[in-house]
Amino acid sequence: MKANFFTSTLLWAVVGLIAVALTPLFVKSNYWLGVLAFMAINTILAVGLNLLMGYAGQVSLGHAAFYGIGAYTTAILTTQYGVSPWLAMPAGILITCIIAYLVGVPCLRLHGHYLAMATLGFGWIVFIVLVHWDGLTLGTSGVEKIPKLAIGSLVFDNDVKRFFLTWVTAILLLLVSANIVRSRVGRALRALHSSENAAATMGVDVSRYKVMVFVLSAAYAALAGSLYAHVVNFISPSVFGFIVSVELVVMVVIGGMASVWGAAVGAATITMLVEWLRSLGEAVPVFKEFDVIAHGLILVLVMLFLPAGLTVGVRDLVLRWVKRRRPAPAPQEKPKEVARV
Amino acid sequence: MEQLPDILQYLFSGLATGSIYAIVAVGFTIIFSSTQVVNFAQGEFVMLGAMGTYMLTAWNWHNADYAGLHLPLWLAIAGAVLLAALIGMLLGCLLIRPLETSPFLLLLITFAGGWFCYQNLVLLRNPDPLTPAMPLPAFIGLAVVTFALLGVAIYLLIGVILGKIRSGKEASVPSQIIVTVGASMLFQGIASQLWGKDAVSVDGLASGALLWQLPNTPYPVAMEYQKFWVMGLTLAMVLLLTLFFNGTIIGKAMRAVSVNRHGARLMGINVPRMVIGAFALSAALGALAGAAIAPISCGYYNMGTMMGLKGFAAAIVGGLGNFTGSVIAGLLLGVMESLAAGYISSDYKDAFAFIVLLVVLIISPHGLPALIKRYRKAAAQ
């Protein structure tokens, strides 16, 4: 089956890995390698959020909170308590999962707007705590000198190494979520997306699955956060604010919900766009800080014109174009006459 | 007795802030009940009200030798409210029938793209202090022409490229949330570009404070006159809205639309017009709240975020779509926040509203009215 071959996850993962391996040959600038590493972190975040939003259909407007909890846990454990990063990162993910579970169990009973508001409120609470709990988080000045990751004598201390670290992690996580989506769990999530009642009738434990995917997507965010902390070596609350939650939603939506690769495309698009706008702003002062407007405008326009997102929208466009080029063959035979009785 | 002035002070401030939350919550309610859309851009109307008033009074229109319009305050407030209502109508049009309302889309895009030229033209006009500036009428004329041309160009481009591929479906709930969040970012971005990022002081309807010395207490309670205005405006608005929704034919039609759209249509009510009217009304309410609170809290480009979110929290706590519920919840939220800021910690002031919200939602997923109803039912049995 041709179609199966081209949509096979493993194939795309191998292609992705080869592309990652070749990239440093072409991209020589450290700055752009840094941007690409950041794109990988955004990809992890978007793919995780997409599991929740695209597949299970649950809106989260507070996802940066989990990103922040993951980053801050590992940052505080390594800088203030001298814990090894390899222990601190799983600890951060574990703590985030516990918090996500505690928040998810009551909140996921809510639907639509109520859920959006509850997650948004949670995101703000976490942000305010990060800013004001000076004793632990050092407030707005942020946590500095977070140690670099190292395997034995291999220290991830330059941009090429960081680029590989983040992208290999991102592709592994993409593989994991592509497999989840194809499994029984993925089918259950899609079922409860289209109708919770119908899913429950078919034997899907709706609330259990919802909490499960919520915790899973929080774990993705926490992993991205701890990677961010160890790659950038400095974190401050502003990286985990409301606008970041919105930006994550933008990535998922732009990429097209209900497609693992779509989320990756969305993350890549938005990261590049922000970067491009920033360099534009430096060159032409009029365009300075245009990114907020651009985000808003893009969100509104994409939602109005391509409600299914960029990947699905473009795919449909191409399909339609192909169809127009090769008009469907006329029906070969006339419908049989109904037998007269 | 020692504590009394403090408590009264917190209650007074809390009621004033709570009034604003109540108005914003009512704005949410009006839009939600007529369209089932939660408008995350509601807070931006508060900002537009504040900054619009500032624009029509003290702002100097990016022009060094021009001292600002300095319209009378009531006229400036009316202008800001009108501006916000127009923008609210645009947003409503975009949300309910994006394709048919192409003229409105044109306007929005002109508005969004036009300030770019505006800024460029400002640079053109004042390249450096030494060269003589272009005369103001010529400048305005040039700006208008550029706006129009740019708007038409972008509109045609988008219309030709995308107009044909858009599916005719009405936007789903998540995408409506996203469109309004996007619109909110858009408004904030434009505001920060237009009016800058610094907080500005806006004239109030009254200045000074009433000092109320209670017997046997160490210091008086200070009650700013502007806060009386805020509360009075809220009270007036609640009364007027009650009259409007119960006594006028348009208000009744709007209520009919919120009860059953198809039924209302069968009764000959123009549903889209009512929906756009609801957007305009709620935007105007938000802007009035913004103009009223700005003299107390200053105006700045992202003041709408917190206002909108807390108003939304009040609307949710009061049961989404419940008019009385959202007014009461708004007032309660304001008082609670003020007391918590005074007695627990002012650092975490903004977090209290959200904690209250989460607790209410966890206890009763449909807000307080549902809880009260359940309690009454249990009591009756």
Q: Is A71 exposed, middle or buried (0-12, 13-18, 19+ CB in 10 A)?
A: buried
Residue B144 inside a domain? The answer is no
Report the alpha-carbon distance of residue A228 to residue A234 in Å, rounded: 9
pLDDT band at A93 (very low <50, low <70, confident <90, very high): very high
Q: For residue B26, is it within any domain?
A: yes
- Domain membership of residue B273 (yes or no) is yes
Helices B323-343 and B4-35 meet at what angle, rounded to 10? 150
Decide if B108 is inside a domain: no
- What pLDDT shows up at residue A152? 75
Average pLDDT over residues A320-324: 76
pLDDT number for residue B145: 62
Mean predicted confidence (pLDDT) in A104-115: 82
List the single residue in A118, A298, A303 with the smallest CB-CB distance to B358. Answer: A118
Mutate to test the interface with A, among B179, B198, B310, B366 (most CBs of A within 10 A): B179
Q: Which of B57-66, B141-150, B198-207, B337-346 has the highest mean pLDDT?
A: B337-346
Residue B3 — very low, low, confident or very high, per pLDDT cuts 50/70/90?
confident
List of chain A residues whose C-beta atoms are within 8 Å of the C-beta of residue B361: 106-107, 110, 114, 117-118
Query: Residue B13: inside a domain, yes or no?
Result: yes
Token readout for A287 is 């365009």
Residue bearing the bigger pLDDT, A83 or A296: A83
- What pLDDT is recorded for position B130? 41
CB-based contact A292 B158, cutoff 8 Å: no
- The single-letter code of the amino acid at A125 is I
Check whether A310 has a pLDDT greater than 50.
Answer: yes
pLDDT band at A46 (very low <50, low <70, confident <90, very high): very high
The pLDDT score that the predictor gives to residue A42 is 93
Q: Is the ipTM of this complex over 0.85?
A: no
State pLDDT tens for residues A141-150: 888 888 888 7
Q: A2 or B80: whose pLDDT is higher?
A: B80
pLDDT of residue A100: 93
Closest by CA to A232, choosing from A34, A87, A27, is A34
Separation CA B261–CA A166 (nearest Å)? 51
Q: Across the A/B interface, how many CB contacts are shorter than 8 Å?
A: 153
In tens, the pLDDT along A163-183 reads: 888 898 998 898 888 888 888
Contact A289 B189 (CB under 8 A): yes
Mean pLDDT, range A315-333, rounded to an integer = 67
Does residue B165 belong to any structural domain of this protein? no
pLDDT band at B342 (very low <50, low <70, confident <90, very high): confident
Choose the weakest-confidence range: A61-75, A108-122, B145-159, B234-248.
B145-159
A293 touches chain B (CB under 8 A): yes
Indicate whether A121 belongs to any domain: yes
Average pLDDT over residues A265-271: 85
A1-15, B105-119, B319-333: which range is least confident on average? B105-119
**Chain B contact for A87, CB < 8 A?**
no
Is residue A284 one of the residues assigned to a domain?
no
Q: pTM for this one?
A: 0.79
Q: What share of chain A is helix, strand, coil (3-state, %, to 5)?
A: 75, 0, 20
pLDDT tens digits for range B207-226:
777 777 777 777 778 888 88
Q: Residue A279: its pLDDT value, please?
A: 72
Query: Which is it for the CA torsion B282, B285, B287, B290, positive or negative?
Result: negative
Whether A163 is covered by a domain: the verdict is: yes
Rounded mean pLDDT, B301-318 = 88
Decide if B173 and A120 are in contact by the 8 Å CB cutoff. Answer: no
pLDDT of residue B349: 82
In single-letter form, the type of residue at position A110 comes to L
Q: If contacts are CB pairs under 8 Å, which of residues 90-149 in chain A contact chain B? A: 106-107, 109-114, 116-118, 120-122, 124-125, 128-129, 132
- State which of A210-219, A329-338, B150-159 shows the largest mean pLDDT: A210-219
Q: In chain A, which residue's Cα lies nearest the Cα of B354?
A: A121
Q: Annotate A24-63 with DSSP letters as a single string.
A: HHH---HHHHHHHHHHHHHHHHHHHHHIIIIIS----S-H
Contact of A323 with chain B, judged by CB distance below 8 Å, is answered with: no
Query: Is A294 within a domain?
Result: no
Instruction: Report, as an integer, the average pLDDT of A301-330.
Output: 70
Query: Chain B: residue nearest A118 by CA?
Result: B358
Give me the DSSP letters along B10-60: HHHHHHHHHHHHHHHHHHHHHHHHHHS---TTHHHHHHHHHHHHHHHHT--
Q: What is the model's pLDDT at position B352?
A: 86
Measured between CA atoms, how close is B239 to chain A, in angstroms? Answer: 28
Q: Would you say the C-alpha torsion A75, A76, A79, A85 has a positive or negative sign?
A: negative
Q: Is the pLDDT of residue A44 over 50?
A: yes
Q: Judge: A297–B182 Cβ closer than 8 Å, yes or no.
A: yes
pLDDT at position B20 is 92
Number of domains forming the structure of chain B: 1
Per the structure, the complete domain to which residue B34 belongs is given by 4-98+170-380
Residue B247 has pLDDT above 70, yes or no: yes
Contact B119 A286 (CB under 8 A): yes
Confidence of residue B236 (pLDDT cuts 50, 70, 90): very high
Between CA B206 and CA B13 the distance in angstroms is 16
Mean pLDDT of A196-222: 88
The alpha-carbon gap from B229 to the nearest alpha carbon of chain A, in Å, equals 30
pLDDT of residue B322: 84
Per-residue pLDDT, B166: 44
Tell me the mean pLDDT in the region A7-33: 78
**Does the pLDDT at position B246 exceed 80?**
yes
Q: What is the pLDDT of residue B99?
A: 43
Is residue A94 over pLDDT 90?
yes
Contact A109/B120, CB-based, under 8 Å?
A: no
Q: How many domains does chain A have?
A: 1
Cα–Cα distance list, A287 to A247, A283, A291 (Å):
19, 8, 9
Q: Is residue B303 domain-resident?
A: yes
Are the C-beta atoms of residues B215 and B1 closer than 8 Å to each other? no
Task: Let me know: does B249 contact B255? Beta carbons within 8 Å.
Answer: no
Q: What is the DSSP string of A289-307?
A: T-HHHHHHHHHHHHHHH-T
What's the pLDDT at A95? Answer: 94
**pLDDT level of residue B46 (50, 70, 90 thresholds):** very high
pLDDT value of position B381: 79
Residues from chain B that touch A303, judged by Cβ atoms under 8 A, are: 171, 175, 178-179, 182
Q: Is B120 domain-assigned?
A: no
Mean of pLDDT values over B353-369: 84
Task: Domain of residue A41: give its range.
Answer: 30-239
Q: Looking at the partner chain, which of A112, A120, A243 has a beta carbon nearest the beta carbon of B309?
A: A120
Tens digit of each residue's pLDDT (9 = 90 or more) over B15-40? 999 999 999 999 989 988 887 778 88
pLDDT over 90 at A45, yes or no:
yes
CA distance to partner chain B, nearest, from residue A110 (Å):
6
pLDDT digit string (tens) for B113-162? 555 555 555 555 454 444 445 555 655 665 566 555 555 555 555 554 44
% of chain A with per-residue pLDDT over 70? 85
- A-chain CB neighbours of B187 within 8 Å are 296
Q: Of all helices (H) and strands (E), which one includes residue A282? A: helix A260-283
pLDDT at B140: 62
Q: How far is B312 from chain A (nearest CA, A)?
A: 8
